[in-house]
Structure 1
Amino acid sequence: MLALVVLTMVPLMWCGMIVAISFIETPLKFRAPGMTHALGVGIGRLVFKALNYVEAALAVVFVGSWTQRHDLVGVTAAVLMVLCTAALTLQMTVLRPAMAKRTKALAATALNQPGTAPVKGKTGTLTHLAYIGSEAFKVVALPIIGIHIILAVAA
């Protein structure tokens, strides 16, 4: 029974966390009064590191429950979960570390040049855009996984 609850809950909770952090909190943070670009990306570096570790824990919990109730995870849900886990692995091992180098350099520059104004209209690097794309993929895939499992339970 616990595996059933976890299999239906984890993908939807995981999706909600991504939406809340990546697509609501992050853009709004840069609109806060007095928020500099350097401070915003410094906070983001901490928040996304924590988010990725929580996502990894959720993936492990999901897979553990999957081993208990493999009958509920069909091919579509399985493939999407593997792809979500691969996207998370890419974020944690390649994309976020590459972005951290850039944000640390930005923070160092801001410390050496106090009063640095926020950067306006700056587009992200290709790495940043890849990170956003992988987040968007997970936001689409995770609810589909949850829905497929709920339908498998109902069947």
Structure 2
Amino acid sequence: MNEVIALSNKVNQEDIETLRELIKDIDTAMLTTVSEEGLVSRPMKTQEVEFDGDLWFFTKKETNKYEEILHDQEINVAYAGKSYVSVRGRAEIVEDLDKKKELWSKAYEKIMQTSYDDPDVVLIKVRAEAAEYWETGNFTKKVAFLYNRMTGQSSKSSDVNETVELNK
């Protein structure tokens, strides 16, 4: 079954809910950035907040991914669980103390060995532009295309509207 989801200037809540369901129970995502040497992926803890079109991750300013995002905001986030999900988007560094406090948990304190109010701690906000997902047990690739909120591109101008058999 082929699914193409296109959003106009308004966020389509049904499309957001589809992606929310696919990633809600996956604790770790792979964040891919662009370095001087090429693409780099690393595991990131998934936020325990409902996906609303934006993904959030914590990092520190002293990391390579921080520098890579400052240089090139195009990223990819991949999830593997009951489904495989690949989200393409644009990253932004957010230093808002209230937002950091809202998203912080004891797990981050242990992982990052600091607190949310450490000036070295920042958030990576990923604005989802497109997403693809494959459900395990179903060998048909299902595509969900989110409207590119930055350029106004519609799904009619994309090449992601075909079904691909992964295994026969």
Does TM, normalized by the shorter one, top 0.5?
no
**TM-score calculated relative to the size of structure 1:** 0.20
More helix by share: 1
Under a length normalisation based on structure 2, what TM-score does the superposition of the two structures give? 0.19
The structure that has the greater radius of gyration is 1
Report which structure shows greater RCO (CA 8 Å, sep ≥6): 1
